[in-house]
A and B are shown apart, each in its own frame.
Chain A
């Protein structure tokens, strides 16, 4: 199956700093990537849909100025959590489809963010 690489796997940062998470499709081109957030014992909640070469589409309640998404190429999307606070501590996961019309969604390995 398609491989989605996500880095870093975990990060600890101080409150008020920014953290960048990278998501790469290794063996396919992903025009669309999805960013999810998962709190402990909760389900995955879609934060935004990242489209190559255009602005991301954010879900209701997700601050676009706080969670900056850049999808500059067909294989790379980044999520930057700006001015992170302890309540932003969560498991962030990116995902992508491996081709137009393909229904299957492949996930990155996730990033556990802890904000002190």
Chain B
């Protein structure tokens, strides 16, 4: 059973701080990794995708991937109250089209 693990939180940070979200995965064959943001009662929205080891930056978001450690993270700089949501880590299984999702980390950014 391939798994994607996330700390369910809740993670609470003050406005303007850096929020750090972590994810580990079990399938060493995985090549594609994604972070989705999901507001309550809504469908997920793609935030970042990353395929290679290292960092990938997009605006206030930075995704980090370490395949050797089977670890992927998302940093949100200058956190805003509008960033308050559940963040889902998703991993594409090796040799498959399927995405396996973690349970998500609930982030609250306090004004």
Contact = CB atoms under 8 A, between A and B. Distances in A.
Given A43-B104, A110-B42, A32 B97 contact: yes
Contact of B45 (A34, A49, A107): A107
Interface in B35-77: 41-46, 49, 51
Contacts, number: 49
A43 B43 contact: no
- Contact size range, A: 20 to 34
A105 B98 contact: no
Given A107-B45, A109-B42, A44 B34 contact: no
B99 A46 contact: yes
Contacts of A45: 101
A49 B88 contact: no
A43 B42 contact: no
